[in-house]
Structure 1
C-alpha cells in the first residue's frame, strides 16, 4: 500500500507517495495561476487547482509505477486560502495573502475577545474571519447564496469525498472557532453580523478518518473509491509535523513561519492553538509574510530566465556579494513582531546595475534580510533554541540553510525527504497506524544538520545591527 500526500501552496500543487514505513517513493508538481485584482486582492480558480492536484498525483503514480488501487490513503495540506462556493463569485478562491479585508481586520482587532487575543491582539487580514466580514459587507448578493465556504485544505478533502468535515488545525488557527471554548464563537459571530454562513460537518483533529473517496472524487483523481481520506492541515503546520520533532520548526516557503509549543499568548504571535497538530499540545506561530515571494520577485528582475538554484549556485561560488547592500524584507507587511499589514520593505545601497552579478547580490542580501527577520521572530517568541527543524522550499538550499544557522545561531535540522509532504502523509496514514503520534514515529527519518559557522558570526552581527537601525529609521520616517 502507498500513502498519498498533496500539498497545495501559493502557486503549485505537489503530490507525494510514501510507503507505510515512511519512505518517499515519488513526488511531482503542477502549477496554477494567481489572479490579481484591485484593492490588494489575489485569487485562484479552484478548478485549476484541482486539475493541478490530479495531474501531480497521476505523475507521482507514473514515477512510482503504481496502480490506482495501490494508493490506500490520502490527505491534503494547503495554504489558508478561502474557497467560496456561491453563484456569481469567480474566481472562487481568495488567496491567503489577499489583503482586501484590512479594514475589517482592524475593526475586529478592537473587540475584546479570545479570538483576537489568540491572534496576538491584532487580527491579520490573512485570517478567515475578516474575509468573511468583507464578503458579507461588500458582496451581500454572494453572502445571501453561499453554498459553502471552507479553508482550502478542507475544500480539497470535501471535493475528494463529498463529506463535510473541517480540520481542527485550520478552524482553530484561522476561523472564529476555539477548541477549548466550545467551538464556534457565537457571540463574536453575532457581533460581526456573520452568523449565517454555512458550516456543516464535524471539526476533526488532523489525521482523523473522514471517509473513502467518492466515485466522482476517485475518477477525477485517478484513484480507487476505496482509498481513505483523512483530515489534513494548513501547509506550515504540516511542515512542522513532518520536520524533526521536539524542537521549534521553521517553515520557510512563500512565507516564513516559526512554530513552537508551550508558549503563552503574546502580542504579534498567533496562538496558542490546542490540538492544531497533535492532541494534547498547543502550538504558537510567529512569522514573516511573503519571504519566498520576495526572492521570487527578485528572480523576476533578471533579463533572462534563471532558476533559484542557478542564482544560489553562483552566489555560493562568490560569497557575500555587496555587503553594503541591506534589505528590510517586509514587502507585504509584518506579522511578527510589528503586526502591521501595511508595513513595507526598504533597500539601502541600491544601484542602477542590472547585470547578473548585481541582481545576484540583491537576491542574496534580500535572503540575509529574511534570515535576520527570522532571528527577530524567534527572539520575540522568547525562544533561544539550540536547534531549529527547517522545512519548506528555502530549506532545499544548503546555502540558505547555512545562512539561517549563521543568522539565528541555531543548528538547522533538515529532513531531506520533504517535511511538508511527509507531515501530510503522516496525517493520511494515522487512521491506519493507530493515530497521528504512532504515524509520526513510523515516518521519522534521519536529518541533515547544519551548524553555525563561527567565521560568519561577525558579518551577521554587523548585518543585525544595521537591520535594527533600518527598522528604527523606517519608524522615524513613518512618524513624519
Structure 2
C-alpha cells in the first residue's frame, strides 16, 4: 500500500493506493483561508499538519489493515507559500500563500536587483512566488525577517512535522525564484538578492527519491512499519502530471482546480518569461515542464456560488451538458489578479454585457466561459510550437461535462475527462511515494488513467466562441484602469 496526500488551499486530500495502482480509499479535511488586508492571502501552517494527520487518522479508523501496510508516502502541495520558521522550527507568522498579491512592488525591486533572474530561475518575478514575499517581510516586518532561520513551502513544512527533516523537491523549489531550474540546485545569487543564503533552504531531492523516514511515533499511531519512507513529492501541478501519466515530453493537461493550469512536459529547461509562462522542474529526474497559470479557475465558480448562496451543482444543473453558443455576458476571472499572460496582481474580475433581461443562467455560463477563455490565453502563451493537440481535464471543475464541452469549443482541441481526475495530485503523490520506496521504473507506475468521456469542438459553436474570445480579450485592457 502507498499513501498520497495533497496539501491544497481549500483542504487536504489523502488517498490509499494498492499494489495494482488502484485507489482503495480517500479522506479529506477542509482548510480555512484568511484575507486580513486587500490582496493578502494567508493560512496557519499548523492547520495543514492537523488536517494531514487527521485525514490519515480517518483512513486508519476505517481501513486499519490497509494503512498498516503502507510502505511509502508522497506529498503534493500548493506551491509558493512562504512558511517562515525560527530557530526552534516553529512558524514566525501565518504562511503567505500563492494567491497573495501584496509583494508587487518587491517584484520590481527583485528584477532590478538581479538582472540574471530570468536566465537562472526561468520565470518573471510575480507576487505569487516565494522570493518577493521575503522582500516584503524584510521591509514591512523586519523583526520577523531577522528571526527567519528556514523558509519552507507548505508541503515541506508538513513533511518536517511528519519526519523531523527539512526537505524539498525540485518541482516545488522551482516555484520559489531561488532555484537554478536548469541545474536543479539552489542559487546563491538569487538567495543573496533577497537577503538569504543556502543555510535558509531545506535539503533538495528529486520527487521520486527518499526524502525522510516517517517519525516513529506516527508509525506507531497508524500501526505502520518502522521504515516507512516519505518521498520528495511534488508541487500540486507536477504531482497531477504524475497522476495522469504525463511524463513524456509533449504530454499536456488542463487543470480546473482552485487555480487553473495549462501544463506541458518538456525534456529540457524551456523558459519563456516574456509571455509570463512558468518553466519548472518536473517531479522526475531529467524532465521539466511549462505552465500557463490562471489564479481563479474553479475558484470563480465557488465565488459565484457564495455570492448567490446556491451550491455550484445547483447553479450548473439548469444549463444541462451543452449550450448552443456563448453567453451574451462576458466575465473576467481575475478575482485574485492574474499571472499568465498579464502578470498583474492588481487585475480584477468583471462582468460585461449585463442587461435588465439577463438571467442567472447566462451569468453562470459566462463564468464558465471566462475561465475557458483564460485557459485559451494560457494555451496561446505556450506558443504554437507547444504541439498541444489535446488535453486531459483534471481538478474539481472536471466534474462538469458542460464545462468540459465549453473548454473544447473555446480551445478548439479535444478535452478528455479522466478517471480519478479530482484526486490527481494526491494519486501522483502516492505514486512518488511508491517510487521512493521501491525504486521501480516510473514508466511502469506512472500510467495514464482511463478516459471517461471525450469532448470535441463542435462546428456549430466553434466559430461563435472564436468571435466571443476575441471580444473578451478586449475587456482587460479596457478595464485595467479600474483595477483596485
TM-score (norm 1): 0.89
Partner of 1:267, secondary structure, is: helix
Output the CA distance in 2 between the equivalents of 1:272 and 1:153: 20
What is the alpha-carbon distance in structure 2 between the residues aligned to residue 232 and residue 83 of structure 1?
A: 18
Give how far 1:206 is off.
0.5
Aligned with residue 474 of structure 1, among 453, 458, 479? 479
1:208 shift after superposition = 0.7
Match of 1:412 in 2: 415
SS in 2 for 1:372: helix
Report deviation, 1:332.
Answer: 2.0
Q: Is the 8 A contact 1:118 1:272 kept in 2?
A: no
**Matched-pair contact (CA < 8 Å) for 2:120–2:179:** no
| SS of match in other structure, 1:71 | coil
SS of the aligned residue for 1:237 comes to helix
Matches within 5 A, 1:227-266: 227-245=228-246, 246=248, 247-262=251-266, 263-266=270-273
* Residues in 2 aligned to 1:307 and 1:106: alpha-carbon distance in whole angstroms: 40
**Cα distance in structure 2, aligned partners of 1:216 and 1:154:** 19
1:199-218 alignment, distance < 5 Å:
199-200=201-202, 202-218=203-219
2:286 aligned with 1:285: no
1:338 counterpart = 2:337: no
Question: How far apart in 2 are the matches of 1:182 and 1:346?
Answer: 40
CA contact (8 A) 1:160 1:213 kept: yes
Matched residues in 2 for 1:102 and 1:439: separation? 43
Map of 1:276 onto structure 2: 282
1:121 deviation in Å?
Answer: 5.8
Distance 2:65 2:135 in 1: 45
Cα distance change on mapping 1:471 and 1:135 into 2, 3 Å: closer
Output one character per residue of 1:19-63: Cα deviation in whole Å (capped at 9) or x when no partner.
Answer: 122101111211011122124222111222222112222333445
Cα root mean square deviation, aligned? 2.8
Q: Tell me if 1:315 matches 2:322.
A: no
Deviation at 1:222, TM superposition (A): 7.0
Shift of 1:388: 0.9
Task: State the Cα deviation string for residues 388-442 of structure 1 (Å, max 9, x = none).
Answer: 122111112222111111111111233312322221111111123424624534x
Q: 1:82 maps to which residue?
A: 82
Q: Do the aligned residues in 1 keep the contact of 2:16 with 2:26 (CA within 8 Å)?
A: yes
What is the alpha-carbon distance in structure 2 between the residues aligned to residue 216 and residue 102 of structure 1?
A: 43
- Alpha carbons of structure 1 residues 223 and 82: separation in structure 2 relative to 1, 3 Å: farther
2:366 is the alignment partner of 1:359: no
TM-superposition CA deviations, 1:144-178 (whole Å, max 9, x none): 22243201121111111112211111112324111
Map 1:135-150 → 2, pairs under 5 A: 135-150=137-152
Unaligned runs of 5+ in 2: none
Specify whether residues 101 and 439 from structure 1 end up closer, same or farther in structure 2 by C-alpha distance, changes over 3 A only: farther
Kindly indicate whether residue 16 of structure 2 is the aligned counterpart of residue 17 of structure 1.
yes
Tell me whether 1:464 sits opposite 2:464 in the alignment: no
Tell whether 2:446 aligns with 1:446: no
Shift of 1:244: 4.7
Q: Offset of 1:64 from its aligned partner?
A: 4.3
Q: Structure 1: 5+ residue runs without aligned partners? A: none
**Contact 1:254 1:293 survives alignment (8 Å):** yes
Name the TM-score, length of structure 2 as normaliser. 0.88
Aligned to 1:5: 4
Shift of 1:457: 1.3
Q: Residue 378 of structure 1 aligns to a residue in which SS? A: helix
Matches within 5 A, 1:53-72: 53-64=52-63, 66-72=65-71
Structure 2 CA distance for partners of 1:44 and 1:191, relative to 1, 3 Å: closer
In the alignment, which residue of structure 2 is the partner of 1:394? 397
For the 8 Å contact 1:213–1:227, the answer to whether it is kept is yes
